[in-house]
Amino acid sequence: MPDPLGLFWLFFKATLLSSSGLGNLPSLHEDLLARHWATEADFGAALAVGQVAPGPTGLWVVSLGFLIAGWWGAVLAVVAAVLPPLLIVPTELLHRRFGDLAPIHDFVRGLNLAIVATFPVVVLRLVGAYGFDLPTLALVAASALLIAGGRLPSVVVLALAAAAGVAIFS
């Protein structure tokens, strides 16, 4: 089992560097794969469980923590996920005073844009783990269209993708 303090630090650092539920993905992906503490399959499973489970999608890290280090991993992931959002209280107080300052406003926008840019990078790496073959790319495109259409909940689309995976790749 990985060193608990080291594991907590990686989860905590990833949350500190993120500004949304999946924003912690790039940092965790980089650190955990480099240390061989998690595999691409662990990430795929944890992200899927995170989509299916109730609550914010960001709690997918609880599943990842459990896959890496059992119950302790899950607890460490929960603690690492809940501490940084507590900063909303001082943020509200600070924002009331300084939020209108243009340089701060621009800096925060730059952070948001960088987080947005990490999503297609992760998409490339997730798909790349299996190879960029035509059936996979078609499945990615079909899932994106169904989710963007908004008629089906994302859980249902992922279930369809799983069924399609079994049908196509077997």
Partner 1 sequence: MSPVLQQLRTWTGIGLQSFGGGQATQLLVYRAFVERQRLMTPAEYAQAWGMCQLPPGINLLALAVLIGWRSAGGLGSVVALAGLVLPSAAVTVLLTIAYLLVSHLHVTALALRGVTAGVAGLGLVMTVRLARPPLRASRVEGRLSLMASIAVLLGAFAAQVFWRPPVFAVLLGAGTASTLLGWPRRFLSRA
Q: Is 34 in the site for partner 1 (CB under 8 A)?
A: no
Q: Is 1 in the site for partner 1 (CB under 8 A)?
A: no
Q: Is 37 in the site for partner 1 (CB under 8 A)?
A: no
Cβ 8 to partner 1 shortest distance, Å: 14
Q: SS3 sequence, the chain?
A: CCCHHHHHHHHHHHHHCCCCCCCCHHHHHHHHHHCCCCCHHHHHHHHHHHHHCCCCHHHHHHHHHHHHHHHHHHHHHHHHHHCHHHHHHHHHHHHHHHCCCHHHHHHHHHHHHHHHHHHHHHHHHHHHCCCCCHHHHHHHHHHHHHHHHCCCCHHHHHHHHHHHHHHHHC
Out of 9, 33, 39, 53, the residue judged to bind partner 1 by CB under 8 A: 53
Q: Is 111 in the site for partner 1 (CB under 8 A)?
A: yes
Our CB check for partner 1 shows the closer of 1 and 116 to be 116
* CA dihedral sign, ordered 33, 143, 121, 109: negative
Out of 10, 47, 69, 76, the residue judged to bind partner 1 by CB under 8 A: 47
Q: In Å, how far from its chain's centre is CA 22?
A: 3
Q: Is 119 in the site for partner 1 (CB under 8 A)?
A: yes
Out of 1, 6, 16, 35, the residue judged to bind partner 1 by CB under 8 A: 16
- Give, as ranges, the residues between 54 and 93 that touch partner 1 (CB under 8 A): 54-60, 62-63, 66-67, 71, 74, 78, 81-89, 91-92
Q: Is 26 in the site for partner 1 (CB under 8 A)?
A: yes
Out of 9, 20, 33, 39, the residue judged to bind partner 1 by CB under 8 A: 20
Cβ 72 to partner 1 shortest distance, Å: 12
Our CB check for partner 1 shows the closer of 1 and 83 to be 83
